[in-house]
Structure 1
Amino acid sequence: MELWNQQYRNLAGTDDREQLDISAPRWYLPDDRVSSLFYCLLHGIGTPLNEYVAELTSYMETLRDLDGLFDAGYMAGIRDGTEEPGELELYAASQMHRWTIEVSTVDTTNKLVSKFSYTVDDSAKTVCLVRSGSYFAVKVDGYAI
């Protein structure tokens, strides 16, 4: 990101051209890989990250399908950002939002390793996530982020 800013810094504010936003929003390139999934799930909802994580984890605790799959320490780790979110959070998000979430996993050379879908009845929309290690990218409503 710093290299990108150096290359385009000279374009900002030099004349009457439209001002460029050369610093990408935090949800676009998260500095913290733990929050990467949450930023992808948040896109278009308009909720602050901490509120979203609290809402999703509270919802997870009510899901019978997830009984016995996590403990208080795991939930605390997700809430404070020390635990990496994964399949449990994806499943809960699909149920909470009534979304079908398609997850594609790629290796370090961007070759598809696996593809899986979390589906719900009467889905409101389909959200496509791509995972590379602990980082996620999202395609939703025709936009890739």
Structure 2
Amino acid sequence: LNCPVDQVLLDNNKAYGVRLVDGTILKAKQAVVSNADPYITYNFFGSGNDDETTSSSIPEEFDTYMKETFLSTGEEDEDDNNTGIPDLKSFIHIHAGIDAKGLPDNIPNADFPAQWAVVRDWDVGVEAPRNIVLCSMPSLLDPDL
């Protein structure tokens, strides 16, 4: 669809649509679903600055959850409480959509998997800098992607 989202639109803390980067507003029939990770989804909520979005703001429960779970350091505080999930600093994940025309019908398979990983050194772990790359080609599983 190639329609980048600028903001999730809210009314009384319920998402009812999205505003696209080009300003177009799309209203949902049943639900607004984000396929983005929590960090990006969090940033889609804004303060709203026109009649269509004046009630938009980050819902308090979601804001608290994100700050406590994802946006904190992941270290323990002075009371030994975990302050969130730490960033995994060496993780690279590539999502590739390819035109699968001309590829064999039996893919994905062991020789041409839809997902794979390359680990430079298992002994240092996946958090070691530049040690792991994950690749995913979901279009091999669903050609409509």
TM normalised by structure 2 equals 0.19
Which entry has the higher C-alpha Rg, 1 or 2?
A: 2
TM normalised by structure 1 equals 0.19
Relative contact order: is structure 1 or structure 2 higher (C-alpha 8 Å, sep ≥ 6)? 1
